[in-house]
């Protein structure tokens, strides 16, 4: 390993808060399938398997944190919060903040295509790094990194909040209320600036309405109104 690469590796370890006993784990976590050559198997020589494990480790750490921080929350509320925190967008944002893109091993084609800035690649690498931390330093090393980096989202949860329709569906399904049904009940205004009104119905709950300049916006407004009314979200969400 060159001195420059060694220094970059040390800098990344410092950012991750862990010095790897097995450096190959970190190298594997940063190896995108596009970097493979010849007959190398993606399953063995890229970060795909580590990504699978890291997703589960992240889920466990976040679920445990939510149970501890929200002792009175029911399953539905926990599910909404959980899904907002383990989404690929969260992993990509963490990877970008940590600077994983600069350390990735990419193939020439992916390099030219801007792979170091692609959210999907960054998210996968972040999950793989979490797995590498877990395998090298145990759950403590992984949860220490997650606690440090996900605290940002916990402090500002709306940055990673699911869209209202997705959040509402997760909440209703977790409570056995099925899938929300949206109906367009009105349209006003000129053709170039229409206003749509939508009603949302959920089993066992009063209907709610919302309006917007498109049908989708109206559906989102109705879903958000119901989430606020049922105390799943607040006015600030």
Give the model confidence (pLDDT) of 103-135 as tens digits. Answer: 999 999 989 988 898 888 999 999 999 999 999
The residue annotated as part of the active site, out of 22, 74, 111, 127, is 127
Q: Which of 160, 187, 206 is the last residue of a domain?
A: 160
For residue 64, indicate whether it is catalytic: no
Per the annotation, does 51 bind a ligand?
Answer: yes
Give kind and range of the element (H or E) at residue 181: strand 181-188
pLDDT, tens digit, for every residue of 6-47? 778 889 999 999 999 999 999 999 999 998 877 777 677 889
Give the C-alpha separation, 81 to 24, whole Å. 34
Q: Does 111 lie in the same domain as 177?
A: no
The tokens for 162 are: 């699911």
Q: Which two tokens stand for residue 140?
A: 């403590």
Do 169 and 149 fall into the same domain?
no
The answer to whether the annotation marks 127 as part of a ligand binding site is: yes
| 148 and 201 assigned to the same domain | no
Q: Domain boundary at 128, 144, 160, which? A: 160
Task: Mark whether 191 is an active-site residue.
Answer: no
Cα–Cα distance between 237 and 163 in angstroms, integer? 10
> Which one is catalytic: 13, 22, 27, 55?
55
Shared domain for 122 and 207, answered yes or no, is no
- Among candidate residues 133, 93, 115, the one with its CA nearest the CA of residue 31: 115
Check whether residue 156 and residue 213 sit in a common domain.
no
Structural domain total, the chain: 2
The residue segments making up the domain with residue 222 are 164-229
């Amino acid at each position: 390993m060159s001195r420059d690469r060694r220094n970059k590796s040390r800098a990344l370890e410092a950012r991750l808060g862990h010095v790897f006993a097995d450096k190959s784990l970190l190298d594997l976590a940063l190896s995108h399938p596009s970097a493979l050559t010849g007959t190398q198997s993606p399953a063995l020589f890229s970060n795909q398997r580590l990504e699978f494990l890291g997703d589960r480790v992240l889920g466990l750490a976040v679920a445990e944190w939510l149970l501890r921080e929200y002792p009175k929350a029911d399953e539905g509320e926990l599910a909404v919060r959980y899904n907002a925190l383990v989404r690929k967008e969260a992993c990509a944002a963490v990877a970008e903040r940590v600077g994983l893109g600069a350390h990735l091993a990419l193939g020439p084609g992916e390099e030219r295509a801007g792979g170091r800035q692609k959210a999907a690649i960054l998210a996968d690498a972040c999950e793989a790094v979490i797995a590498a931390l877990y395998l090298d330093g145990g759950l403590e090393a992984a949860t220490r990194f997650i606690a440090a980096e996900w605290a940002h989202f916990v402090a500002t949860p709306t940055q990673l909040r699911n869209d209202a329709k997705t959040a509402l569906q997760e909440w209703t399904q977790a409570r056995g209320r099925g899938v929300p049904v949206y109906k367009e009940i009105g349209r006003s205004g000129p053709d170039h600036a229409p206003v749509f009104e939508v009603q949302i119905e959920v089993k066992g709950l009063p209907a709610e309405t919302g309006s917007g300049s498109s049908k989708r916006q109206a559906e989102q407004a109705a879903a958000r109104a119901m989430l606020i009314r049922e105390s799943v979200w607040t006015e600030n969400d």
